[in-house]
Structure 1
Amino acid sequence: MLGSRGKIDFRIITDQDKGFLFDVYASTREWEFQYTSWPKAERQLFLKSQYEAQDKTYKMRYLGAIYRIIQLDGVDIGRLILDRQDQQLLIIDFAILPQYQGRGIGSDILKSLINEAYGGKVPVRLHVNQNNTSAIQFYSRHGFKKTGVNGLHFAMEWKGDFSAREF
């Protein structure tokens, strides 16, 4: 995918990517520690256990999911986990490192996923932490609506107009 910000690619995740994937995961949780006094070592241990639990849960729950590293001009900048199902396109995880956010990269990728879903006449669904206001705003700007609450997460959905059109 060639965006206005550079060449966006996706590559298969390998065992050598574990450290990078942990860094991406940790960057998505950084906002949670703004008001804590946890020492860095304790935070790292906590995040490591949370990352491993999440990874195990995803692999057990989403057997058909695809896992990809997002690259910009050959540099690893994030991860995308999708589950393409007959009735929906489920974004399980979509994260870009903070230093690459705000450049439209995430928007380019999300628009591509929305186009894919529109072509297949299926909604795009995801869950986002209720306290992650920047992610909620990001998805809302792209037409996602809150459809429910699941624990600490909002369920969100983009749904196109799939009704027949007259010409």
Structure 2
Amino acid sequence: MTDPTFTLRPAGGSDEALLLRIFAEAHCAGFEQLGLEPGALASLIRMQFHARQAQYRMYPGGAEYLIWRDEVVLGNCWLSDTPEQLRVLDIAVLAEHRRQGVARAVLGEVCARAAAAGKPVRLSVWHQNTAALELYRAFGFVPEPTVLASEPGDLGNGYLELRYCPEAAVRQAGAR
């Protein structure tokens, strides 16, 4: 495992090609199985990318960041930072940097930032994304009890709403 230290830099318009590459690698795996011509496939991915950006920009305090280490881009993340919560909208790591602790380091920074501000971190995760669920649980994320389709945190659409409360995580760590 490499050193997971990193910096976050706000993404800008000149980063669009890089952000599109990160998005395509992280969120469009398997699209080639649709059997589309290369130009149509590229258009579909661009359309999905722009739709996701428009959706995330609607969040109050929403901002996109590039994750850097040693002058190399590792991935990106979207955060929505409001007085009530710090919401993780997305963390995406380029394939060549996965399994090196990057997402863990970013999530650790986000949780530390929220703890310093005395507010929770919230996020939604696909219920079958076991790797992400293991990571979030290791940090002390729990199902959001106020969301209840069939079980705590179940949004009823295949996603779970999770919450990290700094004070609860401290109590949980002390109990171990």
Question: TM (normalized to structure 2)?
Answer: 0.77
Alignment of 1:7-22 (within 5 A): 7-22=5-20
> How far is the alpha carbon of 1:159 from its aligned partner?
1.7
Unaligned runs of 5+ in 1: none
Matches of 1:8 and 1:124 in 2, distance apart? 20
Q: How many residues are paired up?
A: 159
Matches of 2:165 and 2:94 in 1, distance apart? 27
* C-alpha RMSD over aligned residues: 2.6
Range with greater deviation from structure 2 (37-46 or 64-73): 37-46
> How far is the alpha carbon of 1:67 from its aligned partner?
2.0
Matches of 2:81 and 2:140 in 1, distance apart? 19
Whether the aligned pair in 1 keeps the contact of 2:31 and 2:41 (CA below 8 Å) is no
Greater than 6 Å deviation, 4+ residue runs = none
Question: Which of residues 115, 118, 130 in structure 2 aligns to 1:121?
Answer: 118
Matches of 1:78 and 1:158 in 2, distance apart? 23
1:92 alignment counterpart: 89
Q: What's the secondary structure of 2:64's corresponding residue?
A: strand
Whether the aligned pair in 1 keeps the contact of 2:141 and 2:163 (CA below 8 Å) is yes
Question: TM (normalized to structure 1)?
Answer: 0.80
2:161 alignment counterpart: 155
Letter matched to residue 90 of structure 2: D
2:71 alignment counterpart: 74
Matches of 2:127 and 2:42 in 1, distance apart? 23
Q: 1:12 to 1:120 in 2, by over 3 A?
A: closer
Unaligned runs of 5+ in 2: 144-152, 172-176
Matches of 2:87 and 2:127 in 1, distance apart? 18
Letter matched to residue 104 of structure 1: G
Q: 1:6 to 1:151 in 2, by over 3 A?
A: closer
Whether the aligned pair in 2 keeps the contact of 1:7 and 1:73 (CA below 8 Å) is no
Which structure's residues are more often strand, by fraction? 1
